[in-house]
A and B are shown apart, each in its own frame.
Chain A
Amino acid sequence: MNSHQRLRVDCAVHPQPETSDELRRYMPEPWRSRAFPGPERYFYPAPNEYFRGSVGASGLPGSDPALLARHIFGDGHVDLAVLLPRTRGLNPDLDLANQICAATNDWLASKWLTESNEHGRYFGSIRINASDPAAAVAEIERWAGDPRMVQVAVTMQAHRPYGQRFYHPIWEAAAAQHMPVAVISDGSLGVEYFPSPVGYFRFHAEYSSFYPLNFYYHLSSLIAEGAFDRYPALRFVFVDGGSDLLMPFMWRLNNNWRASRAETPWVSRLPTDYLSRHVRFCTSRMEGPPDPAQSTVWAEVSDSPTLLMYASHYPYWLYATPLEAVSRSLPDDMRHRILGANALEIYRLSQAASAPR
Chain B
Amino acid sequence: VERIARVEDLTPGTVKIIPGGRFGIGVFNINGRFHALANYCPHMGGPLCLGDITGTTVADGPYSIRWIRDGEIVRCPWHGWEFDIAAGQSLTSPVRRIRKYPVHVQNGFVVVDTEGHVRE
Residues of A participating in the B interface, judged by any CB pair closer than 8 Å:
165, 225-227, 229-230, 255, 258-266, 268
Contacts and interface: CB of A to CB of B under 8 A. Distances in A.
17 contacts: A225-B62, A226-B59, A226-B62, A229-B61, A229-B62, A230-B62, A258-B43, A258-B81, A258-B92, A259-B92, A261-B80, A261-B82, A261-B91, A262-B56, A265-B56, A266-B59, A266-B65
- For the complex of A and B, the 3 pairs showing the least CB-CB separation, nearest first, are A226-B62, A266-B59, A259-B80
Contacts of A255: 79
A258 B80 contact: yes
Give chain B's interface residue range (CB within 8 Å of chain A). Answer: 10 to 19
B61 A266 contact: yes
Nearest to A225: B62
Q: Is the interface of A mostly helix, strand, loop or mixed?
A: helix
Interface string B52-65: 00001111011111
B31 interface: no
Contacts of B59: 226, 264-266, 268
A335 to B, nearest CB: 35
Contacts of A230: 61-62
Given A226-B63, A259-B79, A266-B65, 6 more contacts: A258-B43, A258-B80, A258-B92, A261-B82, A265-B59, A265-B65
B43 to A, nearest CB: 8
Contacts, number: 47
B62 A227 contact: yes
A54 B18 CA distance: 75
B83 to A, nearest CB: 12
A146 to B, nearest CB: 30
B62 A258 contact: no
Interface in B17-65: 43, 56-59, 61-65
Interface of B: 43, 56-59, 61-66, 79-82, 91-93
A265 B58 contact: yes
B64 to A, nearest CB: 6
A231 B81 CA distance: 28
Contacts of B80: 258-261
A266 B91 contact: no
Nearest to A260: B80
A255 B92 CA distance: 10
Nearest to A258: B92
Contacts of B64: 265-266
Nearest to A267: B59
Nearest to B80: A259
Contacts of B61: 226, 229-230, 266
A132 B82 CA distance: 40
Contacts of B57: 262-263, 265
Contact of A266 (B62, B82, B92, B93): B62
Contacts of A261: 80, 82, 91-92
Contacts of A262: 56-57, 82
A265 B91 CA distance: 11
Nearest to A163: B62
Contacts of B66: 265
A258 B76 CA distance: 11
A262 B28 CA distance: 22
A178 to B, nearest CB: 20
B113 to A, nearest CB: 32
A167 to B, nearest CB: 13
B36 to A, nearest CB: 25
Nearest to A263: B57
